[in-house]
């Protein structure tokens, strides 16, 4: 067999193997599962990205207040159509206000100072010094 015939034979053999593989139900199921897994990964990525952006918005609202947040995003809102998706996602809403208030309480500096280490532990773990 000449090298040219061998190349042609290998090409025909590969074509037959690909055709048989394409008709195999296990292979088709695996390819379908891969497409579904890819789509699910893309959806998870965008859902996570949306959650992170929502938390950033809530954090900024908690730090600056609603008026300060509006002043912060006003330059961006000037260039975005009012009915657009970006304008609706940037604008403060009820849910981001709730999360912002919870974050503000969580990150708010406390004015309490402990006079001794046992006082500090008492504030963290109530009833510790009674035992």
Is the model more confident about 105 or about 11?
A: 11
Rounded-to-integer distance, Cα 131 and Cα 123, Å: 15
Q: What's the CA angle centered on 30, arms 27 and 33, to 5 degrees?
A: 150
Report the 10 Å Cβ neighbour count for 38: 10
Residue 98 lies in a domain: yes
Residue 114 lies in a domain: no
Q: What is the mean pLDDT of the chain?
A: 85
Range of the structural domain that residue 24 is part of:
10-105
Global pTM? 0.60
pLDDT over 90 percentage in the chain: 37
Residue 47 lies in a domain: yes
Count the domains in the chain: 1
């Amino acid at each position: 067999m000449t090298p040219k015939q061998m190349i042609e034979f290998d090409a025909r053999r590969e074509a037959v193997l690909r055709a048989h593989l394409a008709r195999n139900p296990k292979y088709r199921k695996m390819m379908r599962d891969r497409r579904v897994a890819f789509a699910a990964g893309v959806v998870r990525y965008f859902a996570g990205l949306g959650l992170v952006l929502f938390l950033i918005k809530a954090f900024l609202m908690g730090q600056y207040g609603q008026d300060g947040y509006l002043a912060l995003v006003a330059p961006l809102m000037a260039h975005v159509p009012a009915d657009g998706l970006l304008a609706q996602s940037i604008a403060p809403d009820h849910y981001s206000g709730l999360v912002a208030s919870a974050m503000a309480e969580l990150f708010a500096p406390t004015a309490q100072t402990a006079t001794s280490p046992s006082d500090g532990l008492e504030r963290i773990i109530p009833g510790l010094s009674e035992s």
